[in-house]
Structure 1
Amino acid sequence: MKVTLDDVAAHAGVSLATVSRVLGRRGSVAEVTRTKVLTAMDELGYARSTLLHEAPRRLVAVGAPGNPEHWQVQVCTRVATALQDHGLLITRPPVETEPEPLEVAVRAGAVALVTPTLTSLHTTIPCIRVDEQSAVGDEDANGDIIAARLDLGGGMTTAFEHLQAIGHRRIGLICNDSGELAVQLIRRFRAEHPARNLGVRLDDWIAQVPKSFSGGSRAVLDLKDATCTAVIVQSALQLHGALHGLRNRHLQVPRDMSVVGFGDAPTMKFTGPPATVLGLDVDGLSNALVGATLQTLRISSTGLPSVPPVFRPRLIARTSTAAARQ
């Protein structure tokens, strides 16, 4: 039977987070506690590739979640390039929806997984990732190493404040029909919406559709029929579809519907009209993941910050938003 981190923690009489700190060589752990964890590993027959830190060329898996957003792909590319510059070998398996490629990478000797996903992947190697701001602690219950936090609530508040300032109150959300990012966006939409305390059924203003052009085209018309005057859109594909759907009904953006995208993909400057978006600090997120990886693998002696940095999406106002029609 496969020995898990939970088994090691129970055998040593410590928490899962403590086991993670010992294996990841981060944070303060008493020597007696460290010895208990290593002894438990030996007694249970648990082996973890990160203990082989003297290997000259280590393999690191850098993977985006299944069906990733453009910003997640950008982060992975920057992280992979930076880690290669430090002499690490890189593999790029997709993660989350397809576990087999990641398992293959682990069997090939990957010593860590670095990913901008917002959910734990229950890996047997250290998982260095991003988390949503509302999560507690710098390591989750599965022992993941949280390198940075994404303030989705703050981003949603920024979008609402912008739209409210120009007269919008009936604001909808178009998001993917699966994935942790969609789950978090819906949760934050409900928590931050300016009409949340006015007896409005906010679920009527949420359209969960496939991450596709046609999904966005259909969703925006449904929300228009639900009397929304503005929408926040998760993916670039959905946003392009939303603009197309409105044009097909002879409606104009932003005269008849204001649109805010999430993430500043290169095409957002060239939509018709150029899209107002919640931009993400791709470089900041990438640097945080790289720094946490180098410290975890003991390549860098610089310790991780006691509190992971928080990145709040910032509004980039273009011309897809305008004052609501009276």
Structure 2
Amino acid sequence: SSCRNPYLAASKHFVEKDLEVSAAGRVFMITGANSGIGKATALAIAKRGGTVHMVCRNKDKAEEARADIVKETGNKEVYVHVLDLSETKKVWEFAEGFKKKYKTLNVLVNNAGAIMNQREVNAEGLEKSFATNVLGVFILTKSLIPLIEKSLDPRVVSHGVLWGMLVQKLRIGNLQSDRGRFDGTMVYAQHKRQQVVLTEQWAKAHPTIHFSVMHPGWVDTPTVANAMPDFHRSMKASLRSPEQGADTVLWLALSEAATKNPSGRFYQDRRVVPAHLPLAWTHSSPLEEQKLMALLEDMAKTFQPH
């Protein structure tokens, strides 16, 4: 029933023909495309004839997912790139290499995300979930913007998460989560708040690209099951399928309707929603937002290959 699954209630206002579009001749990059929402997104785009670059951490899982997608869609224009977004230097190298090799990228979907149960650091000494969710996304997007910008109908779609993020004020004093107790889900929520800020800032800086960030609703994915087992168990009946979770991603990546909305907004179920609760205390000042961008800019530069 629709009260059990909020997607069914929301989908009543969807316009069917918004997604009755071909993706032929368009090129998409999707991070974390081997399972969950990422895979559902890749499959739906391949079905519509799009070229898909799957950027995944695990080669075997990625190749398996690619084989599934090709078999189901008959579209062979599906490519696997092995990259762990938590490996900061490698993100730069991958993005710079991709620009040399490919001439077009119409849409980047920042789907990969990490929720850590404990604090771990990467080879560069950065906390791993920050490296994946914030700095990795920042570097990948920043490096690919020039390629995206010169492609037709360019877009960048990122995943947010509504829960937790809405009660998180932007904090830039503890980016590495090295102070206080490490709470993986709260850290993740803070990263998503930072991602919303990135999206808003990029939208201002690159007006030709349509940027958006979306919350897929609570979806039954391995990430949720592993990071929040109790929540997953108690909510299982009302969790959405990965296909339902991917709906708004696809709508933002493919539909003409989406680009009628201003760039830089936050979406749920194909609608613009506030990125903040009515409580004003979660709003950050423009100064803090610029400070975050400058911090990431500096941090990214230190790992940039020359």
Structure (1 or 2) with the greater helix fraction:
2
Q: Shorter-chain TM-score: which interval?
A: under 0.3
Structure number with greater CO (CA < 8 Å, separation at least 6) is 2
Question: Who wins on radius of gyration, i.e. which is larger?
Answer: 1
